[in-house]
Amino acid sequence: MKRSTLSNSLLNIILVFIESALTLLLRLDPELRKAAYPLAKQGTVVALRLYLPHVEVFATFSTKGVLLDAQLPIGRSEPDVVINAYSIQVINAITTHDSETTEKLQMRGESVQVQLVKQFIMQLGLGSLIQGLIKKFKGGKGKSKPTEEEMADKKNSYKLRIKEQQTQITTLTIKNRELETTVKELESKQKLLVIVTIAALVIMVASLIALLMN
């Protein structure tokens, strides 16, 4: 009994930390809020059944955030979506933001809600938290505006690229004309060769006829 109580207490502490992190993420990441909104609007309950270690957690989406508990919420007989996976699979899905990794998670439930949960998982991650904190420390200004020197350097770089492209176009045009001239010369020589060959054959035939008549 003591071991079970200690395990539940430890799980509750972990869930409190995760719930706080999710609340922070939802505040800092507008894309994550957008992904969570349809789930919160429906009051979706997700049961997460993990293996190694064996843990069952219930996540309830609401306007207050994502509430985590080891028990099914009061008034609910069953969750809307059930996820069966190893702990490492869930960690990989959250950290990689990869659709293929998320698709490997076994999910049961209504197809629309399952898809919404997948989108939420793909948007969730430590990267979003770090980016949000950086923006928060910068006062939400995002990237600083480029200075006049940086703008001038970019303009000069663009000008150089345009000149290089124009030079390449000119070079290609000249080569194209040279090739056209070469083709015309070859065609002219070919015609001349055909005429000379025909004339030679005519002369040979005339000569043979003359010899036979003599």
Instruction: Check: CB of residue 76 under 8 Å from CB of residue 104.
Output: no
Q: For residue 180, how many C-alpha atoms fall within 13 Å in the half-sphere facing its CB? A: 6
User: What's the pLDDT at 2?
Assistant: 42
Judge whether residue 130 has pLDDT over 50.
yes
**Per-range mean pLDDT, top range of 10-19, 77-86, 87-96:** 77-86
Instruction: Check: CB of residue 45 under 8 Å from CB of residue 73.
Output: yes
Give DSSP secondary structure letters for 150-188: HHHHHHHHHHHHHHHHHHHHHHHHHHHHHHHHHHHHHHH
pTM as predicted: 0.56
Least confident of 1-5, 6-10, 88-92: 1-5
Least confident of 68-72, 124-128, 196-200: 124-128
